Chains A and B, each alone.
Chain A
């Protein structure tokens, strides 16, 4: 008996080694499955605070460009207001019915709230972004996130004040997209490598697509409304069986520069989520 213990003690470093590596592999494989692992991410309070501090410092470095982008967006919105006002005048809408119409759209549609990207990576296989908004601000997992230029990703996990976003630049990310002006849709997936490009798979062969065509969200999931900008077609490749085409898409969002984002909440998403919660099998 004693010799067994002595043997074990001599080999203790092997046991410790295998044990620690086993823990690492469990962490590695369970990350995408268990909600509890939110504490091992940049959305936990301590790490997010630190990254928030860093964000506050580094955000000054890109201030000029960010201002220009926001000014550009302001101009676009201003333009929209002018157009819509003209349209309203044309339709002889009085202000009361206009308010009513807006409310109706609001009720049927989506709610958009701004957030800051306090941490991000674009050079990994599975990238994640951290936003400075959490459940306390009404952000919940499975909400869509877009930037000034287009789609960013989907909220993955939340703590009270921060949330983790799975952007397009993640091997687990799939977003249903279509070619603008047609109803053929496929799913967008990132191949890794260059953060400017992603691939749109499973588009029917007969859908005539040309380089330069615009790719938008299809609206078939509740993450995004229909028609949010995703990118433009760079090239098209037929699949091996000739039934589908795969498109190389130049993403409109410049992920490496992203600082401002908007969380999109579908208005009846709460009800939908409650229903799905009921359908889910109970687990610890």
Chain B
């Protein structure tokens, strides 16, 4: 019960930080961080795939409503939620039966960074292409994706280090 409440708090907190703060950031006219994806990154491994996609859809749609981009964030989030179990198996090949929450304390710093970079890169690629919906300014778009990925991963790592500081 307590765990569920903590998760709801994370959900609401991340959405608020995203829509009130980070949506207004556009560093060098290029990089916009999408930190809400951390919720999907750090959800424990054994969450059912369908439930994960449903949560990702709700999360994305909520951010969409606040940024007038219906379907864009939701679509990108559902995509990474769908791919996450496979990616997690790839980057955290643990045969243990017990459940775990992906994070630097369980996976180690570098494996988690690799996992986060791949998930965030996938999410941002889907997000920016869904938003632009054209290949007209492809170089600019790719640059935006790259810079935003770096910024988001930096923020994700910052949260991780704060949470697991020993």
Which residues of A approach B to under 8 Å, CB–CB?
12-13, 16-17, 20-21, 23-29, 31, 37, 40-42, 44, 47, 50-51, 54, 121-128, 164, 192-194
When each residue 4-37 of chain B gets 1 if its CB lies under 8 Å from chain A and 0 otherwise, what string results? Answer: 0000000000000001100110100100100000
Closest 9 CB pairs of A and B: A28-B71, A27-B71, A24-B75, A123-B26, A24-B71, A27-B70, A128-B68, A13-B49, A20-B78
Chain B residues in 8 Å Cβ range of A42: 65-68
Known: A12-B50, A17-B53. A121 touches B75 (CB 8 A): no
Chain B contacts with A in 140-155, Cβ cutoff 8 A: 140
- Binding site secondary structure of chain B: helix
**What is the minimal beta-carbon distance from A117 to any residue of chain B, in angstroms?**
13
B69 on interface, CB distance cutoff 8 Å: yes
Chain A contacts for B74, CB-based, 8 A: 20, 23-24, 27
Q: Is B137 an interface residue (CB 8 A)?
A: yes
Is residue B119 within 8 Å, beta carbon to beta carbon, of the partner chain? no
Give the total number of A-B pairs whose CB atoms are below 8 A apart. 94
- Which B51-73 residues have C-beta < 8 A from chain A? 53-54, 57, 60-61, 64-72
Decide: B53 and A40 in contact? CB cutoff 8 A: no
- Contacts known (A16-B50, A20-B53); A121 close to B65, Cβ less than 8 A: no
Q: Which residues of B contact A194 (CB under 8 A)?
A: 29
Residues from chain A with a CB closer than 8 A to the CB of B68 are: 41-42, 121, 126-128, 164
What is the CB-to-nearest-CB distance from A125 to chain B, in angstroms, rounded to a whole number?
Answer: 5
| Selected contact of B53 from candidates A13, A44, A122, A123, CB within 8 Å | A13
Report the bound CA distance from A16 to B53 in whole Å: 8
Task: Please tell me the number of chain B residues within 8 Å of chain A, measured between CB atoms.
Answer: 34
Chain B positions within 8 Å of A16 at CB level = 49-50, 53-54
User: What is the CA–CA distance of A44 and B65 in the complex, to the nearest angstrom?
Assistant: 9
B78 touches A17 (CB 8 A): yes
A28 nearest in chain B by CB position: B71
Known A26-B71, A28-B70, A126-B69: A192·B137 in contact at CB below 8 Å:
yes
Contacts A/B (CB < 8 Å), 16 sampled: A12-B50, A13-B53, A20-B53, A20-B57, A24-B72, A24-B130, A25-B75, A26-B71, A28-B72, A28-B130, A40-B70, A44-B65, A121-B68, A123-B26, A125-B133, A192-B137
Q: State whether A123 touches B29 (Cβ < 8 A).
A: yes
In the complex, what's the smallest C-beta–C-beta distance from A186 to chain B, in angstroms?
A: 21
Per the bound structure, the CA–CA distance linking A50 and B17 in Å amounts to 12
Complex formed: what's the CA distance from A61 to B125 in Å? 34
Closest CB in chain B relative to A218 CB, distance in Å: 27
Instruction: Return chain A residues, CB-CB under 8 Å to B65.
Output: 40-42, 44, 47
Chain B residues lying within 8 Å of A28, measured Cβ to Cβ, are 70-72, 75, 130, 133
B78 to chain A minimum Cβ distance, whole angstroms, is 5
Interchain CA distance A37-B71 in the complex, whole Å: 12
Q: How distant is B45 from chain A, measured CB to nearest CB, in Å?
A: 15
- Given A31-B70, A122-B26, A126-B69, A13 and B78 contact (CB-CB distance below 8 Å): no
Contacts of B133 in A (CB 8 A): 28, 125
A40 contacts B49, C-beta separation under 8 Å: no
**Within 8 Å CB of B26, what residues of A?**
122-123
The CA of A194 and the CA of B137, in the complex, are separated in Å by 13
- With contacts A13-B82, A193-B137 taken as known, whether A40 is within 8 angstroms of B50 at the C-beta atoms is no
In whole angstroms, how far apart are the Cα atoms of A217 and B68 in the complex?
27
Q: A13-B49, A20-B57, A37-B70 are in contact. Are A123 and B32 (CB under 8 A)?
A: yes
Q: Are B70 and A21 in contact (CB under 8 A)?
A: no
Q: Is B131 an interface residue (CB 8 A)?
A: yes
Q: Is the CB of B137 within 8 A of A25?
A: no
B29 touches A21 (CB 8 A): no
A16 to B75, CA, bound (A): 12
Contact A121 B67 (CB under 8 A): yes
A16-B54, A28-B133 given; name 5 further pairs at CB < 8 Å. Answer: A13-B49, A20-B78, A40-B61, A121-B24, A126-B69
